[in-house]
Amino acid sequence: MRLFLLIGVFLYSTIAYSQGISLFNIDASNFPTMKAKFYAYDKDGKPLRPSMNEVKLKEDGENRSITRINCPSSGPQPISVGIMVDTYGFLDLARSGAKRLIEYMNMPKDELAITYMDHAALLHQSFTNDKNKAISSSSTIPKAPGYAAVQQMFFSEITGGVQLIKTRLNNKKVLILLSDLHCPNLSVDTARLFREAAQHNICVFPVLLRTTDYTGLFKAIAQKTGGALFEGITKDDQIYNIFQLISGMARFGDCEIEWNGTQKCNTDKWRIQIESKGLTDIEFYNPNPRSLIKLSAEPKFLFFGPVSPGQETKKSITLKAEGTTFTINDSKLLGSTAYHIVDTKFPLIIPEGESRVITIKYKPIDSNRHYGFVETNTLCPGGFSVYGGFPGKPLIGKTLNIKKTCLSGFVYGWYRFNDKMGRHPPR
């Protein structure tokens, strides 16, 4: 979900503008080269074109080295905009958003049309460059009956968004899908959509009202066509800011940014923050599998079972390095003192794609149950658990903190969570 952060100063004239910056369409497909787009604008709504030394980028709080920023130098270009409205429960939000978009447009050079869904895509306002007429039409957008058919919204004969806009004379064409996805049919011919969008210079901006892109369809459409996805919109000020952003991006073009990515233990979504001239935005993305590093373990943990007091037994666990070479400088055994690391020399170097063995000796002095945790000192701190003893006896070594690690397949000690990203420890 986009976190649309604006640091705003509002001017009151014909229309209020805010200043802000937005990062979107993060592309990790060519890791370690990372790409994204951003758009920044000042308090008058004019685009900012920051240089490399005016932008800072952080991933999960760590600074990244920016290698390229490319911003268009041309002035504004006329745009044709088609708003495809389909909302059952949030009509007021759709109407106010459409009105605000029209206010941001530069008519009569720009033009706008509005369609809506009623078991098919129907034309509410044909293309007009009369701002007053367009604003009046925005206030009477009909309520959808509650059936969102994405294929029809784009490709209904004559009145589908693509069909309606592709023959317009303005070179830059924008389709805005404004929907709450009530009872949706998400089937759509994406191959055709991407082909015609590229052929006719159409970019698509899905704006989802009080819902999210739970299938990933609209993110893919936005990225492939050069638009951006906005989801979970609930307030007028949110949609005002979004439509100011869309208007500016369409008329002036957005900036591209590249930076050097790093390998990661964390397989969760990464938090990326862009800063420039006092403006900030935050976005999240899924890391490329090639950027992930981990130690996998076989077996998952070591179970020794009942061992008589004074007797000893040994078991081994195999660690495999994935994504990079791991060096285990030392290991610590926490919990019960009945366990010892044996037959293993440190530092233990495990080249990428290779495996090494750690052997554990279990020699209890009583018949209690014994739990231990082997903490490995690696690029991704973590370890694995060991357990043995007689059923029903007291548990020794049971007091351990919990922290999440990147050691795939291990029983983890120390579970770490990030409340800023909305994740919580397991109950």
Measured in residues, the chain has a length of: 427
Mean pLDDT, to the nearest integer, of 168-178?
Answer: 94
**Predicted pLDDT at 15:** 57
Query: What gap in Å lies between CA 365 and CA 37, rounded to an integer?
Result: 63
**Predicted pLDDT at 213:** 94
**Predicted pLDDT at 66:** 97
Per the confidence metrics, is the pTM higher than 0.85? Answer: no
Q: What is the mean pLDDT of the chain?
A: 86
Pair of tokens at residue 7: 């640091």
Query: What gap in Å lies between CA 262 and CA 61, rounded to an integer?
Result: 13
**Predicted pLDDT at 405:** 38
In sequence order, which residues have a C-beta less than 8 Å from that of residue 387 and are 6 or more positions away? Answer: 301, 302, 303, 304, 369, 370, 371, 372
* E strand intervals along 261-381: 270-276, 279-285, 294-298, 302-305, 313-322, 326-328, 331-335, 339-342, 348-350, 355-362, 369-376
Go through 217-251 and write b for each residue having 16 or more CB atoms within 10 A of its CB, e for each that does not: bbbebbbbbbbbbbbebeeeebbbbbbbbbbbbbb
Q: Is the pLDDT of residue 92 over 80?
A: yes
Q: Is the pLDDT of residue 212 over 70?
A: yes
Q: Considering only CA atoms, which of 365, 359, 315 is closest in space to residue 338?
A: 365
Q: What is the pLDDT of residues 307-329, one digit of tens each?
A: 999 999 999 999 999 999 999 88
Determine whether domain 294-396 maps to CATH 2.40.50.180.
no
**Predicted pLDDT at 407:** 43
Q: Is the pLDDT of residue 65 over 90?
A: yes
Q: Cβ(180)–Cβ(214) under 8 Å?
A: no
CATH code for the structural domain at 79-253:
3.40.50.410
**What SS3 class is residue 256?**
strand
Of the two residues 277 and 413, the one the predictor is more confident about is 277
Q: Cβ(188)–Cβ(225) under 8 Å?
A: no
> What is the percent of the chain where pLDDT is above 70?
89
> What is the percent of the chain where pLDDT is above 90?
68
Of the two residues 334 and 131, the one the predictor is more confident about is 131
Q: What is the pLDDT of residues 347-367, one digit of tens each?
A: 999 999 999 999 999 999 999
Q: What are the structural domain ranges in the chain? A: 79-253, 294-396
Q: What is the pLDDT of residues 134-164, one digit of tens each?
A: 999 999 999 877 677 999 999 999 999 999 9
38 has which bridge partners?
23, 255
Q: Considering only CA atoms, which of 97, 112, 193, 93 is closest in space to residue 150?
A: 193
